[in-house]
Amino acid sequence: MRARCRRLAIALAVLTLAACSAGEPTPGPAPGSAPGSAQPSRTPAAQPTTLATYETDGVAVSRSPFCDRVSPTGIEHALGDAARSHRDYGNGDALRLPDGSRSIAHEYGCVWTGPGGVTARAWVFAPPVARDRAGDLVDGALTGPCQRAGAGDFGTPSVAARCPTEDGVEHSWRGLFGDAWLVCSVSGRGPSGELEERASEWCVAVLEAARA
């Protein structure tokens, strides 16, 4: 009799524990998450900055190679896609000009070409440039069919120019930072306003790479 009572007591205890466990909620995944998956933290992608919102006062530029420091993201934004080709050149290098002739470079520069022939360029004069000489360079950027276009400072003095080309249009900024004359441009076909904005963002990327 005692053994039978003991077995009944154990059975009742097991049933009681099972009932209590059935009433307790089981922790589930956080709202909006897939079962069994961790929730990765997301960092918003950095948006390109245009010259209109970039502070250039007091920026110093080095008259030296800088192309290997240009942001890959900046290059891709300028071209609208990954670069198809890339070329660097330095002070004293032989360059082939568009007309087929050759010249000796007196600057440090680089060229990236993307799909559809879109091209992003940047270069800085190797020799120092005086303020009066920079004024002549500003005037020279607006010869022929070129016109002023674009907002934002790019050194003192500086100029933003829009020039028609055989391959579309070129938007460029040119300016003096201390004694360094820096130039950046984007050229290709497409809506002029879009190319201008991409050129403005490109010039910020170039300035970040070239600053001393």
What confidence tens digit (pLDDT) does each residue in 86-101 have? Answer: 999 999 988 876 666 7
pLDDT tens-digit series, residues 53-88? 999 988 999 999 999 999 999 999 999 999 999 999
Give this prediction's pTM: 0.76
More confident position, 103 or 35: 103
Domains of the chain: 55-210 (3.40.1000)
Q: How many CA atoms lie within 13 A of 85 on its CB side?
A: 7
160-184: burial string, b at 16+ Cβ within 10 Å, e else: bbbbeeeebbbbbbbbbbbbbbbbb
The CA-CA-CA angle for residues 149, 186, 211, to 5°, reads 90
Quick one: pLDDT band at residue 212, thresholds 50, 70, 90? Answer: confident
Q: CB 123: neighbour CB atoms within 10 A? A: 22
Whether the CB-CB separation of 197 and 78 falls below 8 Å is answered with: no
Whether the CB-CB separation of 152 and 178 falls below 8 Å is answered with: no
Report how far residue 190's alpha carbon sits from residue 94's, in angstroms, rounded to the nearest whole number.
32
Mean pLDDT of the chain: 81
Return the pLDDT at 28. 45
Report how far residue 120's alpha carbon sits from residue 115's, in angstroms, rounded to the nearest whole number.
12
pLDDT tens-digit series, residues 154-177? 999 999 999 999 889 999 999 999
